[in-house]
Amino acid sequence: MQKLHYTFLICLGLIVFSLLGCSAANTNEIKSTSPTFHQRWIAPNPNATPVPGYVTAWPKQVSVEKPDPVLGDKLVWEHWIYGEEFAKRFEGFPLEKADQELQNSPIKAITLRIYKDNLWKSSFSNHVQQYSCNVNVFFDASLLLPSSNKNTEKHHIAWMDYPKGISNGYSNLKPIDTNDKEIFMNSQAFNKQLNANPVIFSAKPLDNRFVALGVREYIPHLIRDISVLNLQANIECGIIGPKADQGIFWLSLLGKSPYFQEIDEKSRLAVKGSYKKTDITFEPGAHPEEKGYVKLPHSFYEVALPKVALIKVLNVCISDKQYLNKASKEAQEDLLKHCKEIEETGVIYDLYNNRYGITHSGF
């Protein structure tokens, strides 16, 4: 039964990953490293202590009896990183908090949003809710994203629907300029499929993974000179891949990468979620934006890493608690012990490899 359970989950994962344009490397990694339920939850050293430098992501205390370890007392947790230009165009963004890395960047703002949703609702409407990751990228409208002729309005997919009480991250923005307000009120999402899903990769990769994000919406001109992409991460909340020290993350708006070239013509997605291991450092040239490459600010990585790491282990806890009756008493106790610790302290415990902390190669 245990093997059947894991095979069932892997098959579900493959279905959802294919819909979101996600990394096949992540799927293969789970498939090859996940032991049986019993083995997975028995730590090699039950008295192990956290390794130095482990990451926590516990939020500020809120006035609720038991705050959610990720969301606090809100339906949505979100973090905005924006430049001066964005702050001058919209209300509520203090200039003194503008990120200097975005001073002359094609990216005007980027938002990481997290909420709970049924990640399997395309196939299983009654599945338990888990954490979902959403990214909004506001960028220079001169960077036009080519599309296919396929109209996505007739091919609606369940994962594009937000759960009750949740909406996209930009509906409540308030433009300052009168002309911007008029354009904002009349802006509409692009109703054709992009030629390829945007990809995030490291300029100096540690391993062979990259992240492909599913496109919820593309609005070419949200206001004058600024477009927005509403992106959805895969079921593992794969927002960013691993990077080396002093490394740089790039967002490829056109879905291109220096490490892979294959595109599935049917789905318009990267064929694989991994590329051949290489020691080559990506050098985009003088005008990377002309090829759709835009640099992500380091502050995005600093915010996303601990949150995404916490979400991944919490999602495993949420899912596997449903199948406790299939495990031995010892395995049940071990699972509940570590999940309680994660939920109450925010300490990252790698449930697949039975160790504390985040390794340099990912989370």
Confidence of residue 261 (pLDDT cuts 50, 70, 90): low
The mean predicted confidence, pLDDT, of the chain is 75
By residue range, what is the domain housing residue 57?
Answer: 2-356
The yes-or-no verdict on residue 301 having pLDDT over 90 is no
Q: What is the arithmetic mean of pLDDT over 277-301?
A: 83
| Structural domain includes residue 363 | no
| Structural domain includes residue 292 | yes
Residue type for position 331: A
Residue 277 pairs in a beta bridge with: none
The reported pLDDT for the residue numbered 53 is 43
| Structural domain includes residue 133 | yes
Q: For residue 133, give the nearest of 162, 98, 106, 108 by alpha carbon.
A: 162
The yes-or-no verdict on residue 304 having pLDDT over 80 is yes
Span of 21-25, 73-77, 156-160 with lowest mean pLDDT: 21-25
| Structural domain includes residue 100 | yes
Handedness of CA 341, 29, 132, 300 (dihedral sign): positive
| Structural domain includes residue 347 | yes
| Structural domain includes residue 60 | yes
355-356 and 349-350: which strand pairing? Answer: antiparallel
How far are the Cα atoms of 58, 305, 311, 313, 337 from residue 342, in angstroms, in the given order?
A: 9, 16, 10, 8, 9
Q: Helix, strand, or coil here: 270? A: strand
Confidence of residue 234 (pLDDT cuts 50, 70, 90): confident
The reported pLDDT for the residue numbered 272 is 46
Residue type for position 91: E
The reported pLDDT for the residue numbered 230 is 93
| Structural domain includes residue 361 | no
Residue 252 pairs in a beta bridge with: 199, 293
The reported pLDDT for the residue numbered 67 is 74
Q: What are the residues whose beta carbons fall under 8 Å from the beta carbon of 226, sequence distance 6 or more?
A: 86, 89, 108, 138, 139, 140, 141
| Structural domain includes residue 336 | yes
Own/partner long-range contacts of 270-273 (Cβ < 8 Å, ≥24 apart): 270/21, 270/196, 270/197, 270/199, 270/210, 270/212, 272/24, 272/25, 273/22, 273/23, 273/24, 273/25, 273/26, 273/27, 273/209, 273/210, 273/211, 273/212
Confidence of residue 80 (pLDDT cuts 50, 70, 90): very high
The reported pLDDT for the residue numbered 361 is 44
Q: What is the pLDDT of residues 208-231, one digit of tens each?
A: 667 788 888 899 999 999 999 999
Q: What is the pLDDT of residues 177-186, one digit of tens each?
A: 999 999 999 9
Q: Helix, strand, or coil here: 189? A: coil
Span of 145-159, 228-242, 331-345 with lowest mean pLDDT: 145-159
Share of the chain above pLDDT 70, in %: 69
The reported pLDDT for the residue numbered 64 is 55
Give the C-alpha separation, 236 to 225, whole Å.
33
| pTM (predicted TM-score) | 0.79
Q: What is the arithmetic mean of pLDDT over 248-265?
A: 72
The yes-or-no verdict on residue 4 having pLDDT over 70 is no
Which phi and psi (to 5°) does residue 79 adopt?
-135, 125
The reported pLDDT for the residue numbered 174 is 96
Domain total of the chain: 1
Q: Helix, strand, or coil here: 142? A: coil
Span of 262-266, 281-285, 349-353 with lowest mean pLDDT: 262-266
The yes-or-no verdict on residue 26 having pLDDT over 90 is no
